Amino acid sequence: MAANQRAGAVRVNDGAQKESSRRPLSAGLGVYPPQRVRRFAAVLILLVVPAAAALAEAHAKLARSDPPAASTLRAAPPEVKLWFTERLEASFSAAHLLDGERRRVDGAEGLVDAVNPALLRMTLPVIPPGRYTVVYRVVSVDSHVTAGELTFRIVR
């Protein structure tokens, strides 16, 4: 009986050896220790998150203006300048001026600057003291739309 058990054990071992000689499907991929996997994941996150943030920041945002938003001036400025964080599509970007009653001021139309495509300029007609609102809608060269407004006041 001991010989039969050994013979059976040999057969089982022979079968096990045959099965273990086969390569598993994942054999070419390798098995990495958990520390290495965690390091790889951390590096991947450090690369992906800033790239996603950069894509989110791709919109043309108002960087600054002259006159500054919410400013009070002693005289009317000859023009309003709006600087954006991205280049603008001149064909689809514009601005206009509203008076204190939110009526459109004739002759105050904003256009993208020919030299600096991130600058929108608005030449102003002679305007009396009061509160004014610059309303803009711009399209960046990557086709994102940004709209907004800013106010300034003229006092004498």
- Three-state DSSP class for residue 76: coil
14-31 burial, b at 16+ Cβ within 10 Å, e below that, comes to eeeeeeeeeeeeeeeeee
pLDDT, position 103: 97
> Alpha-carbon distance 107 to 126, whole Å?
9
Arithmetic mean of pLDDT, 126-143: 96
Tell me which of 36-45, 72-81, 111-120, 121-130 is least confident. 36-45
Over residues 29-67, the pLDDT tens digits come to: 566 677 877 777 777 677 766 655 555 556 899 999 999
